[in-house]
Amino acid sequence: MKQIVLLATLLYLALSVANAQTGTSSCLTGITPSVPTFSLASVVGVVADYTLFCTNPSSASPPPVLVNMEFFLNTPVLDTGPWTLTQGPNTYVGTHPVGNAVFIPSVLYDTTQPTLSFELHGVTVNPSLFGPSFVYLEIVSIVGSITPEFSNDPVQTVGRNADAPETSTLLLAVGALAALFSRRRRVSFLFHCLTL
């Protein structure tokens, strides 16, 4: 775990130096806390929080701007709300314009800060609509007078369905049903013989 934190810190510092030299804002995407696994029988599952860790150039920063953020999933988002985006002390409430999106309007993107951290909370899906091992993917779109570059793949895995039952489990279930069925047939046959 310490190695992962150290690697993330080194990557973050390298991105900060690169952004200071190029004069562009850059965001590293991720999730917190980890990828949840949903039961195939669940009708509501909360996906992991989608996160953006952004760095801004150190010189000649433009003034802070408002941007619109839209988060898209590869599945329908349940209309349960509220969806919130946090950035430092700021909290923004999202809307649900289409089946697979959460829209967050007028988000302050403070270019005067060296770093910014955004986190989307409260997105839910219906795992029972999909099969075993289905993977839930999420991506963000940022629209405004500033469009940060992504330092990594903006498509993040935010959840997955459980695997199908193991073959041995299925064989045990089939064997139990066969034993139950054959027992009922024997009892039925015995009862028939006794009544003759």
Same domain, 17 and 96: yes
Same domain, residue pair 113 and 186: no
Please report, in tens digits, the pLDDT of each residue of the chain (196 residues total).
344 433 343 334 343 434 333 468 999 999 999 999 999 999 999 999 999 999 998 766 678 999 999 999 999 999 988 899 999 999 999 999 889 999 999 999 999 999 999 999 999 999 999 999 999 999 999 999 888 999 999 999 999 999 976 554 555 556 666 665 565 555 454 445 445 6
Identity of the amino acid at 19: N
Q: Is 146 helix (H, G, I), strand (E, B) or coil?
A: coil
Task: Judge if 153 and 173 occupy the same domain.
Answer: no
Helices and strands (H and E) in the chain: how many: 2, 13
Regarding whether 172 and 144 lie in a shared domain, the answer is no
Residue with tokens 């209309």: 79
Regarding whether 183 and 92 lie in a shared domain, the answer is no
Q: Distance from CA of residue 33 to its chain's centroid?
A: 10
User: Quick one: 48 and 86 in the same domain?
Assistant: yes
Domain hosting residue 169, numbered range: 165-196
Give the count of domains, the chain. 2
Rounded Cα–Cα distance for residues 125 and 46 (Å): 7
